[in-house]
Structure 1
Amino acid sequence: MLIGAGVAVIAAGGTALAVHLSLQQSPPPRTTTQPPASQQGTGDPEHIDERDVAALAPRGLKVTADQGALVRLRWALPAGARRYPVVLQRSPVKDGEQRITALAQGATSARVAGLDPDTGYCFVVGVPLRIAQSSTVAWSKPMCIRGAVARSTE
């Protein structure tokens, strides 16, 4: 019995020593490779200009079915935008509801359920190009239903 307890103490001590030693070693240096400026362009999130945003914005947003509490939307994505995730924003929203819904990468349609059949809504679809303190999203033109009017973002 004492031998078993001694082995357990030695094993636990060895494990603690191994953990301690692994924490004392410095991690390997990180290396990052930045492409030369000549190879940076639309895919470089640090250099997104207005032309990039306009070129990647979803187009032709339309309502394909309005069934009161359920609306079906469809849009087209430029080829370069298909590698990005897509988001759908609706307005208005009730307290506790999310204004923006994440969709799959390259999505070109969505179903929006849980709507009030007597309320007008506006929708926009976006391609997030950079998520940061100051995010950049390429937004479609708004599509409004049931008499709703899109607010100007200017």
Structure 2
Amino acid sequence: MALGGTALAVYLSLQQPAPPRTSTADTARPQRPATESPAPIDERDVAALAPRRVKVTADRGALVELAWSLPGRARDYPVVVQRSPVQAGEQPITALDQGATSARLAGLDPGTGYCFLVGVPLRISEDSTVAWSKPACIRGAKARPTHR
């Protein structure tokens, strides 16, 4: 699972733009042939899988601990954490195991404010679908507005 999670993190980190978004894709139905567009998924379905109550449970400067809850069906998917800002060469996405409800993120700048989003990747493709949480910010950071 770690190798697959690393590949997922690298793929997601290369996606532009970095702000969280939801797209319309369906993971509940069987995959269609590549020549057909995937069937749209209702944004309510994506929102129903988004992690809830994301909280920073410890801020130790270079190390931050996060915790959240997952809706029942979301426990069947891997989880990712996106942090902002990131320095050049850093990965903004940390891949976690399926159903994860906490994370420890190290290597942060103790003097910088950060915002964290927790996501459940539903489809990984050119138009990835990730059910994102609301942001949790520390040290005076402000979340960027999202356009859905």
1:137 aligned counterpart, secondary structure: strand
5+ residue gaps, structure 2: 1-25, 32-37
Instruction: Please point out which of 56, 60, 63 is paired with 1:70.
Output: 63
Matches within 5 A, 1:5-154: 43-44=28-29, 46-47=38-39, 48-154=41-147
Query: Aligned residue pairs: how many?
Result: 114
Q: d(CA) in 2 for partners of 1:118 and 1:103?
A: 26
Highest RCO, 1 vs 2 (Cα 8 Å, sep ≥ 6)? 2
2:99 aligned counterpart, secondary structure: coil
The alignment-based identity, stated in percent, is 74
Q: d(CA) in 2 for partners of 1:75 and 1:126?
A: 11
Q: What is the TM-score when the length of structure 2 is the normalising length?
A: 0.74
Q: d(CA) in 1 for partners of 2:46 and 2:100?
A: 18
The answer on whether the counterparts of 1:42 and 1:52 sit within 8 Å (CA) in structure 2 is no
Q: d(CA) in 2 for partners of 1:55 and 1:97?
A: 30
The answer on whether the counterparts of 2:54 and 2:135 sit within 8 Å (CA) in structure 1 is yes
AA in 2 matched with 1:130: R
The structure with the larger Rg is 1
AA in 2 matched with 1:43: A
Structure with more of its chain in helix, by fraction: 1
Deviations 1:42-87 (A, max 9, x none): 7237442201111000000000000011000000000000001101
> RMSD of aligned C-alpha atoms?
1.4
